[in-house]
Structure 1
Amino acid sequence: MASMNVPVEEFTTPDPVTANEDMAIDELRALMERHGVRHLPVVRGESVVGLVSDREVRVVLGLPLTEINQVRASDIMASDPLTVTATTPLDQVAYAMSENKVGSVIVNDEDGRFLGIFTASDALNALTELVRGGGTPAA
């Protein structure tokens, strides 16, 4: 099989739904359900400061109601999410996700500005397209 050099940007979800640090669990859950997503980058201004997954939200929802109401995104977010640049080859990103056992990565441009999110679902879409011949072999 020919070698491929496909940048992650080609399969990144641009301008994803985001959360802020002060959002309550009910707000996070509602946002995820409304948009059909399982990962929410947590932003402060224009910077990503964390990442909340549906797994953390579900864990908190198992707590007593009085405790649930006290939890905010900042309490459960991964404060150092895996981050890549838009030009990082897709295979390197997928390998890093597997090695770090994460379901998503934050994608930034070369200047460090937030571009989007690449999830395991995006990886499966990429795999499907590339296997079906939609990808471009490297020269």
Structure 2
Amino acid sequence: MRVVNLMTDSVVTVTMDTSFSDIRNLMETHKIHHLPVLDGEDVMGIISDRDLLRVLSPFFGTAGEMQRDLDSVNKVAHQIMTRQPICVTPDDSVDVVLAWLQSVDISCVLVVDKESNLKGIVTWRDLIKHAKFNL
């Protein structure tokens, strides 16, 4: 099976300067865990819900909160994102996606065309959905 048969092609994206709060709101509103970061049409990185947790201070919103803890939510996408995300093409085999997810311990890959334009995303949830329907 090819990636094109499995990918989600309506992808919510953010720009390099999208704020932490806007990123969090988009993830909550759309019930997603990954946001590709684009600069124009170029894929620059990806932000996962784990990336948000990584930059959020554990003291944020507590009695011990200090200014540096507040600064953690004032970051923007390019300060949070994972750069050089793993990408596949629509014509790649799903086996390529599985290999990446296992070898690099990631939960999604971006799907791009030959010009590196974003075409979709494949997450581990997409793989589970496919497996459920094909049992």
Give me the TM-score of the superposition, normalised by structure 2: 0.86
Q: Note the 1:1-139 alignment, pairs <5 A.
A: 6-62=1-57, 64-69=69-74, 71-130=75-134, 132=135
The list of structure 1 runs, each at least 4 consecutive aligned residues, that deviate by more than 3 angstroms after superposition, is none
The CA distance in 2 between the partners of 1:115 and 1:57, in whole Å, is: 24
Give me the TM-score of the superposition, normalised by structure 1: 0.84
Q: Percent identity?
A: 32
CA contact (8 A) 2:101 2:107 kept: yes
Q: Per-residue deviation at 1:92?
A: 1.9
Unaligned ranges ≥5, structure 2 = 61-68
AA at the equivalent of 2:83: S
Q: Per-residue deviation at 1:110?
A: 3.8
Residue by residue over 1:46-98, the C-alpha shift from the partner in whole angstroms, topping out at 9 and shown as x without a partner, is 111100000111222325113321x1110111110000010111122111111
Residue by residue over 1:27-54, the C-alpha shift from the partner in whole angstroms, topping out at 9 and shown as x without a partner, is 1100100000000000111111100000
CA contact (8 A) 1:86 1:110 kept: no
RMSD over aligned Cα atoms: 1.4
Distance 1:89 1:54, change over 3 A: same
Unaligned ranges ≥5, structure 1 = 1-5, 133-139
Residue by residue over 1:16-37, the C-alpha shift from the partner in whole angstroms, topping out at 9 and shown as x without a partner, is 0001111111111001000000
CA contact (8 A) 1:8 1:89 kept: yes
State the secondary structure of the residue aligned to 1:14.
coil
AA at the equivalent of 1:51: I
The CA distance in 2 between the partners of 1:103 and 1:67, in whole Å, is: 24
Distance 1:67 1:61, change over 3 A: closer
State the secondary structure of the residue aligned to 1:29.
helix
